[in-house]
Amino acid sequence: MSYSILIASIVPLAFLYVIKWLNFFETHRIRLILLALAWGGLATELSYLVDHPIRLVLGMPFVATHTAPFVEEIFKSLILLYLVRRADTTSFVDGAIYGFASGIGFAIAENMVYLSRVDLDTGLVVGTLRAFAASVLHGSTTALVGIAVAGFPLGRVNHPLLAWLIGLTFAISCHAAYNNSGFHNFVFGQMAYLARVGIAFGALLLVAAAILWGLRRERNRLRKSLGMKAGVSKGETMLVQRIEDLDDLLAPIEERYGEVKREQVANVLLLGAQLAMKQDLIRKTKDPELRVELAPQITELKRDLKQARHDVGIYIMSHVRSIMPKTTWSLWARVGQILTKMEPPRTNLWDVLKAALVGHNAAGEGMHVRIQAELNARGQAAALATEGEE
């Protein structure tokens, strides 16, 4: 049973780490992620208190397919209405991370409940299936709500409660489809399990796509904000806009000055990006409480950025600002960068084809020679047949 518990808890946390890793700017806060995780576990108990009396009257199938998607998604996402009003939520990318954390917390607690009801023989199967399907679904659906509440462009929808309802609509729809497919095993058999996995990972891909699109949108905002009031140079601005490629762009710094200086430079660029995003947020928000909360954070980021630049040193910072390629970044440049990382092929296509042909023709003769030999053999066979008839 210990293996079942490990799988049912560690795998969902691994998915949370992947979603967190997608945010290159690291504008989220670990303490808020932990808070969302804890709330998700509490939401499991709250959902049980609501669903259990209904289940005693109407039965498990009715609760799973009709009431559970509504109850669970509402409780899981309530924490988001608090988190998105904090200055630590810079964009809907952070909302996705906090939402995914709450959903994963709910999934882990629910997985433990399911494992407590099965024997040792089936525990590993149940733990694995729930870790790779139910956990992904719970995290992804709450992340969709977090994306909507934290500022995903929804036309003229500006009120957080209305955005919350829109996000809940998508989350409940995915959850209901997942649960309904589970209660049709007797009709569809194994296809029902595949359908559940498809729904769960489809929602996960939707969340990942929204995060990547949101990061691209943030880069466009940074282009306008960086260097204006954030005090970031043009060279730093260009590096920040390619922050996901820092491992490649800062390779010369690490080679020349060492790994410690490379990490310090990366910290400078990250602080500059976070400062610009906070300043852009305080300029746009109309919430007086949020502005009051943002002001000291901006002051602290400015102080940290100044100290980080001092730790790196003027000479190295000047070198950093000059290493960004002059050419415009494009898809072909990106492809070229990937190809340069690839090891040269050890085999050649023509060598493979030649070996295959030689396998069929040990003598190594050309195709025309082989055809001529075949024609000659057929001609001799026909001549022998004619002589036999005579």
Taking only the tens place, the pLDDT of each residue in 28-47 is 678 889 999 999 999 999 99
- Decide which of 215 and 328 is more confident: 215
My answer on whether 315 and 240 are in the same domain is yes
My answer on whether 269 and 172 are in the same domain is no
pLDDT at residue 321 is higher than 50: yes
Q: Is residue 179 part of a domain?
A: yes
Cα distance between residue 101 and residue 94, in whole Å: 11
**Domain containing residue 80:** 2-216
Q: Is residue 345 part of a domain?
A: no
Cα distance between residue 230 and residue 278, in whole Å: 10
My answer on whether 52 and 176 are in the same domain is yes
Q: Is residue 301 part of a domain?
A: yes
My answer on whether 169 and 240 are in the same domain is no
Interhelix angle 135-149/160-182, rounded to 10 degrees, is 160
My answer on whether 86 and 140 are in the same domain is yes
Cα distance between residue 72 and residue 177, in whole Å: 14
| pLDDT-derived band at 371, boundaries 50, 70, 90 | low
My answer on whether 142 and 166 are in the same domain is yes
My answer on whether 208 and 274 are in the same domain is no
- Decide which of 236 and 259 is more confident: 259
**Which class for 259: exposed (0-12), middle (13-18), buried (19 or more C-beta within 10 A)?**
exposed
My answer on whether 6 and 32 are in the same domain is yes
| pLDDT-derived band at 328, boundaries 50, 70, 90 | very low
pLDDT at residue 390 is higher than 60: no
Q: Is residue 353 part of a domain?
A: no
My answer on whether 239 and 261 are in the same domain is yes
Q: Is residue 210 part of a domain?
A: yes
Q: Is residue 24 part of a domain?
A: yes
Residues 243-289: tens digit of each pLDDT: 656 666 777 777 777 888 878 887 887 777 777 777 777 777 777 77
My answer on whether 92 and 176 are in the same domain is yes
My answer on whether 145 and 25 are in the same domain is yes
**Which of these three, 327, 343, 377, is where a domain ends?**
327
Percent of the chain with pLDDT strictly greater than 70:
68
My answer on whether 167 and 197 are in the same domain is yes
Number of domains the chain contains:
2
Q: Is residue 180 part of a domain?
A: yes
Asked if 115 and 4 count as a contact pair (C-beta separation under 8 A), the reply is: yes
**Which of these three, 169, 185, 216, is where a domain ends?**
216
Amino acid at 384: L
pLDDT at residue 324 is higher than 50: yes
Residues 168-202: tens digit of each pLDDT: 999 999 999 998 887 665 445 567 778 888 999 99
Q: Given this model, what pLDDT does residue 222 score?
A: 62
Q: Is residue 310 part of a domain?
A: yes
Look-up of token digits 């700017």? 25
Q: Given this model, what pLDDT does residue 118 score?
A: 72
Helix then strand count (H, E) for the chain reads: 19, 0
**Which of these three, 276, 311, 327, is where a domain ends?**
327
pLDDT at residue 71 is higher than 80: yes
